[in-house]
Every structure is written in structure tokens, then in C-alpha cells.
Amino acid sequence: MSTNTIDARMLGKMFLAGARNLEAKKEWINELNVFPVPDGDTGTNMTLTIMSAAAEVGKIENPTMELLAKAISSGSLRGARGNSGVILSQLLRGFTKVISSETELTASVLAAAMEKGVETAYKAVMKPKDGTILTVAKEAAAKASQLADSTEDLQPFLEEILACAEDTLKRTPDMLPVLKEAGVVDSGGQGYVEVLRGALDAFMGKEVADNVEIPSAAPKFSSMPAQEETDIRFGYCTEFIVLLENPLSSSQVQEFKDYLSSMGDSLVVVADDELVKIHVHTNDPGMALQKGLSYGQLSRIKVDNMREEHQEKLFKDAEKQAAEAKKAAEKEIEKEVGFISVSAGEGIKEIFQELGVDYLIEGGQTMNPSTEDMLNAIEKVPAKTIYILPNNKNIILAANQAQEMTKDKQIVVIPTKTIPQGITAIFNHVPENSVEENTHIMMEHMDQVKTGLITYAVRDTKIDHKEIHQDDIIGLGDEGLLAVGQNIEQAALDSLEALVEGSSELISVYYGEQVEEEKAQDLLSSIEEKFPDCDVELNYGGQPIYYYILSVE
């Protein structure tokens, strides 16, 4: 028996099933990343986007097409994160424009809605590329239009649309050479296919839960959570190196580990034939050091009182809260110009604050702020004109979407793709200039900045004809791969070799949370020696994921 229409209740179930299926596959989709770095976030962004809409749909007790359309469109627009999430929200937005006035959906209505979704999404992207989620959605919509003329039975209609989307997805590596070289299909396209597959499952009778919770947007990287002092069981963070008199056998290394484990936690022991590096939290650093002396000489000894540091942090936090409370209590006077910037890392936050940023949104790789986050920030900045610095190419579309949704303030999105571009842009803002003049100047100087990012590979792959293996250190530039190696500082130097030109004047280095200051100072000296014609500055960035962020101007 054929089914020729879909009512509002069934559409709601199909949408929730599509969202759930995407959520179930998000980590796998995250791994479909061209560059093998620990920042794959397409699955997370698309999931958070659609789950924001699903949460609104789940609240509707008696669904109508109009209510569903409003919930899906508004929820996805405000929850949109990253380029893939914004594109998905635009596909849904266009789709809902067509269905909102209907009482039931037929094949022809579904086809028209899919076509409108594709049209809306393409308008949101400045330079659409073949081989992306847009291509998969476009081909699926074209198939729907073709089938709508010849069938009214929705089961084969939906099955063939899904098959078309899957076939297009398989061909995305042939459309984008970078996908083919990396051996992956387009991650956004895969996410779109999973939404379609889940929707079809529900149409075929597979039950899905009506209650929807939005998954956490927490990044994969995180600092240690704040603790009460009584929670700090072992008070001294102890680090040292043992310069071995004789190589340790595997049993001796294990004996050393067992001894240290018995007196503390957070233990890391790395040993080779010449030295052993130790990190342990303990209440008796002397005993740990004494044990190390039994194997050889000690070097690089570092002992920090974590309870003392915790007390200092609590004091600083209290001071900060008091200052914020005082500021909130004061009547805010609207000013002419304000700034919103996206950043990650305590050092980078401080730099933006010193440059006059009014509101900082924590985010970046693996944690792309949503359109809702942007709108909330805009509301909190008392300025007639607000500049937004996304500082990540995957956040620009969300910022643009927030700009379109804001009616009572002038929003200017400076399309900064990296932290150094954002710093340069705001540095070159001149209060006396008009908005138009400043926008032109900021973008002009932004375009003169070249950026390098030093991180590590999470899997084997091949990029730009270079073999990359898991755990290799890699340098990424604005256009692609800069360096591959085994040493972090050498990869930074090799990346700068590719970035620095005869006209380059300034090299800025921002070292991350995983880099010791001593290592960063050594790199600074090497850079000054290698590039004597450039001024070189070193800053603590504290950023996760990237050992170093390099900037060349």
C-alpha cells in the first residue's frame, strides 16, 4: 500500500530521527577531515545545529506544519555553528519556507522545498565549491524534482533521493582533489546523508525518542576543572629528569613507576637509554627526587605548590568577579564603536582585551561559537557599531548570520580567518576614521598577514604529495601544508621558511599551553638568527591544540 502524503506529526518524527542519526555518527564524521589535525569538528557543528532545532521541535505537543517550520528554522539558525552548521541551517530554512503553508507534504511539495533549501544555502556561501555538502544537497534536490513528475508514492521517492545523495557523496573526492588525496569523502555531505537516512528510517516505521537534549558544546580540549582546596589530594606538582648512569631495564622502569604511583597521582614517566623524564603529583617531592637519584643525576627540577596556586587563583577569581559586578552595577552608556572577538587561550584573551575588545567569545577549533553566541555577545556590547572578529574561517558564516539577524545595531564582520589576522585588524582600527574607512583599512592590513599553525597529526594521510604519519608534527598555512617533521620547534622554523619573504618585516610567535617558556625562548633565538632582517616578538598565547601560532607581516 502506497503512502502519498506526510502529515505534521510524521514530519516531526522524521526530523527528530534525522537529528538523532546525525548525533550518533558525529565522531565518525569529525574524523573525515582533510588535514589530519586534532580539530575535526564538522560532525559536532552539524549536530549542535540540528539539535538546537530538534529541541524546539520536541517542545511542540500538537504539531502543525507552521509550528514545525518555525521551530526548525529558528532553532537551527540560532544554533548554527561552523560553516557546515550554517549551511545546514540554511538548507533547513529554505525547506521550511515552502512547507510552512502546507497541511500535508506530497512528493512535489518535498521536491520544491528541497530546491528552495539548496537555493537559500548557496546564497549564504560566497564561493560555493563542488564536492561539498552543497553539491550533495543540490543533486538530491534535483533527483527529487525529477521523481516528483513520475511518482506519488513517497517510499520509493525518498529511497531514491537517499540513494542519489549517497552516490553523490561517494563522488565528492573526484570533484575535490584534496579529498581524494586525503582518502575521505566530504564530511558535511556525509552529515547531510545521515540526516536523510534517519528521516527515512522514521518514515519506514522506526521509532525515535521525542525528548531531545542538546549535546554539550564543550571542546575536546579542556583545562583542569576548578576544585576546592580539599579536593587537591596531592599538593606538589613535581617534575624532573634523571640523567641515567646506566640504561634501565623494563623491569626497573616499572619498579620506578610503581614506587611513584604509590606516593602520588597524575604520573607520567618517559624513559630511554640516557634519561627518564618524570611528572607526578605528590605530597613528598623529596622522596620522589631521592628515588630518582638512585638511578643517576637530576636535572630540570621543578616543584610547584598546587594548593598555593589554587588559593591564588581563588583570590584572583574573587577580584575578577568583584570587578565584573561593579561594572554591571554601573549604568552602561552606549558608545559609538565596540568589538567582539573569538579567541582561545588566556594569553590571547589578554592581548585582545589590551587592544580594546569589549566582549570575548571563547572558541576556535573544535569549539565553534553558534549564531546564538554571537547574538548574545552583540546584545551585551553597548555600542552603535560593533565589529566582529571571527578569527577562524569556520566561524565567519555564523558571524554573518548574526549580522543579518541584528536590526538595532550596525554589525561589521571583518572576515579574519586566524588569530594573528584578528590582532592585526583591531590594531589598525583608528577611532577618528569612519566605519567605512576603518573596515577598508582593517581588511587591507588583515590580508597582509600570513599565518602558520604548528600541531600534530592524528592519522596517516597524504597532502600536497607529502606522506604524513600519525603523531608527526605538521605546520599548516593559509593555503595548505607548510612542514612535516618530528620536532615541534624545527617544524616552526621550516614553516617560517615557507612564509617569510624579502619584504617581510615582523614575525610574531604565540606559544600554546603545552609549550614550556624555555622552549619558546629557544625558538625565539633560532628565529632571530635565521631571519635577521625581521623583528621578532614572542607572546604567551596559552592556546590549545596548536603548539605555536606563527604570524608573518
Digit-coded pLDDT (tens) for 176-187: 888 887 788 999
77 — pLDDT class (breaks 50, 70, 90): confident
244 — pLDDT class (breaks 50, 70, 90): confident
Cα 289 to Cα 212: distance, rounded to the nearest angstrom: 53
pLDDT of residue 462: 81
pLDDT of residue 333: 59
pLDDT of residue 211: 47
pLDDT of residue 318: 66
Whether 117 has a pLDDT exceeding 80, the answer reads: yes
269 — pLDDT class (breaks 50, 70, 90): low
Whether 500 has a pLDDT exceeding 80, the answer reads: yes
329 — pLDDT class (breaks 50, 70, 90): very low
> In this structure, are residues 136 and 193 in contact, taking their beta carbons and an 8 Å threshold?
yes
> In this structure, are residues 495 and 214 in contact, taking their beta carbons and an 8 Å threshold?
no
Long-range contacts of 472-480 (CB under 8 A, 24+ apart): 473/547, 474/35, 474/36, 474/37, 475/550, 476/35, 476/37, 476/452, 477/450, 477/451, 477/452, 477/453, 478/417, 478/418, 478/450, 478/451
pLDDT of residue 31: 81
pLDDT of residue 273: 72
Tens digit of pLDDT for each residue in 507-538? 999 999 989 999 999 999 999 999 999 999 99
303 — pLDDT class (breaks 50, 70, 90): confident
> What mean pLDDT do residues 260-283 have?
76
Percentage of the chain lying above the pLDDT 70 cut: 87
> What mean pLDDT do residues 77-106 have?
91
Measure the CA angle with vertex 211, ends 208 and 213; round to 5°.
115
Phi, psi of 33 (to 5 degrees): -115, 130
Can you name the residues that pair with 473 across neighbouring β-strands?
Answer: 456, 485
Question: Cell numbers at residue 526, please?
Answer: 633560532
CB atoms within 10 A of CB 97: 17
279 — pLDDT class (breaks 50, 70, 90): confident
pLDDT of residue 227: 34
394 — pLDDT class (breaks 50, 70, 90): confident
Measure the CA angle with vertex 300, ends 295 and 304; round to 5°.
110
pLDDT of residue 130: 92
387 — pLDDT class (breaks 50, 70, 90): very high
215 — pLDDT class (breaks 50, 70, 90): very low
pLDDT of residue 411: 96
pLDDT of residue 400: 93
Whether 204 has a pLDDT exceeding 70, the answer reads: yes
Cα 406 to Cα 135: distance, rounded to the nearest angstrom: 30
Cα 282 to Cα 285: distance, rounded to the nearest angstrom: 6
Distance, CA of 454 to chain centre: 16
> What mean pLDDT do residues 282-303 have?
88
Lowest mean pLDDT, pick from 18-32, 203-217, 263-277 = 203-217
> In this structure, are residues 379 and 361 in contact, taking their beta carbons and an 8 Å threshold?
no
> What mean pLDDT do residues 420-449 have?
92
Position 422, amino acid: G
> In this structure, are residues 523 and 492 in contact, taking their beta carbons and an 8 Å threshold?
yes
> What mean pLDDT do residues 295-301 have?
86
Cα 374 to Cα 376: distance, rounded to the nearest angstrom: 5
251 — pLDDT class (breaks 50, 70, 90): confident
Sheet bearing 383-389, strands edge to edge: 359-362, 335-343, 383-389, 410-413
Angstrom CA distances, 235 to 6, 104, 195, 286, 513, stand at 63, 65, 49, 13, 21
Residues in the chain: 553
419 — pLDDT class (breaks 50, 70, 90): very high
Exposed / middle / buried, residue 518 (Cβ in 10 Å: 0-12, 13-18, 19+): exposed
430 contacts: CB under 8 Å, gap ≥ 6 = 437, 438, 441
